[in-house]
Structure 1
């Protein structure tokens, strides 16, 4: 086979494998905002694996997930690469994709999440959670941005939500700079508000983040923390 034909064949095989891998197993993304600091920094490149949620598997508390925008969460400039060549490569899985969000699962269907207790911790199904392993250090408390203020940075019992089946409550690790579920939940003053506003449908989840791959000096394997291991199942 002539060199030019062999080169075309190898390129076609490589593209085909990339498309299959992206569709079924692994996909590259980048972090679109500072909301997951300190572990994941804006513009970090990550890998997401999809097989964990096959066959009835669903996201678990503590998982860092990538999901499709459930409704006007993303800024207009977060939709993906602007360079035409990069756009083509992203389509076939050879370049990190944009247009998605990255957050940590705090509660799953049936869970009741409250914030905060007297020590400033989130509680899930009545169990306080120690999030020091991943939340931004020196935070006033585990409270999300939407329930903090300058004069009262951690309001006890300011957040309480029971999550319907098929939905997730997600939060960024950088609690004071994360427009996540808690920034969009219904408030007590709203008389007409769908109970699932601010929650993420499980069907929107692309997969679980398992590796930080760029910059290479910060390469890391992303795993589920132990913080939620003692949380009881929802009653």
Structure 2
């Protein structure tokens, strides 16, 4: 008589044994999530480095090379219009000298400007504006800077006016090609010798410019200390339709002798 083989017990998986399906899906998904997370962190890190580097570079450029300024008034028309954005070289007067005819930005020597009223902004907007101005991506609007043209440098004897209504520098009359059409060099006479370390400045729109002529009773006697000069303006960059380089009108002062 043939013995029947013993019945086999069905194989049941233990409750704590991972299924094959689980082993095939859970493992790769976890690794992929970690890789994606690492890539995201790497991208954020690279973006942060780029942004910080750009801000530092902008700050260095603003501090050492160039800075943007906004033109708030018509005192330099028609050379500069209200609303123009100009670029100023910070290399003047530290690396390069200030020359007659340069258009310079300078800090108020005292009493030239009325009290400044900043524009109304939300706290976030003001904080953003402060950061952008600090790094040089936004024109300065501190309210304590002016922009004028240098007419006489240290030691120069500047007077107005000769028989033809022209300003004289060291006895030589100058034909100012840059003043606004319809303006006259000055309706008020003056006779000044520029002290050492100072500048005599005037706006191109002579009848609308409160410049050296009208600040003789303020600190500095109407002269601008060289230490107050932020830099020399070399370009209009906005609006784009008016973008242009600003060149020194050297021919106006070519015949002026040294003091």
User: How much does 1:78 deviate?
Assistant: 6.6
1:189 match: none
CA distance in 2, matches of 1:210, 1:228: 18
Point out the structure with max Rg over C-alpha. 2
Unaligned runs of 5+ in 2: 1-38
Indicate the larger mover: 222-231 or 77-86: 77-86
Q: Is residue 67–residue 206 contact of structure 1 (8 Å, CA) maintained in 2?
A: yes
2:10 match: none
Matching of residue 135 in structure 1 with residue 179 in structure 2: yes
Residue from 147, 154, 164 that aligns with 1:109: 154
1:88 match: 131
User: How much does 1:92 deviate?
Assistant: 1.4
Change beyond 3 A, Cα 1:111–1:44: same
2:226 match: 202
CA distance in 2, matches of 1:108, 1:63: 11
Change beyond 3 A, Cα 1:216–1:119: same
Change beyond 3 A, Cα 1:170–1:232: same
CA distance in 1, matches of 2:228, 2:118: 16
Residue from 40, 45, 53 that aligns with 1:13: 53
Q: Is residue 179–residue 204 contact of structure 2 (8 Å, CA) maintained in 1?
A: yes
CA distance in 2, matches of 1:53, 1:78: 29
User: How much does 1:58 deviate?
Assistant: 2.7
TM-score relative to the length of structure 2:
0.77
User: How much does 1:3 deviate?
Assistant: 1.8
Q: What secondary structure sits across from 1:76 in the alignment?
A: coil
CA distance in 1, matches of 2:180, 2:206: 7
Q: What value does the CA root-mean-square deviation take over the aligned residues?
A: 1.9
Q: What secondary structure sits across from 2:75 in the alignment?
A: helix
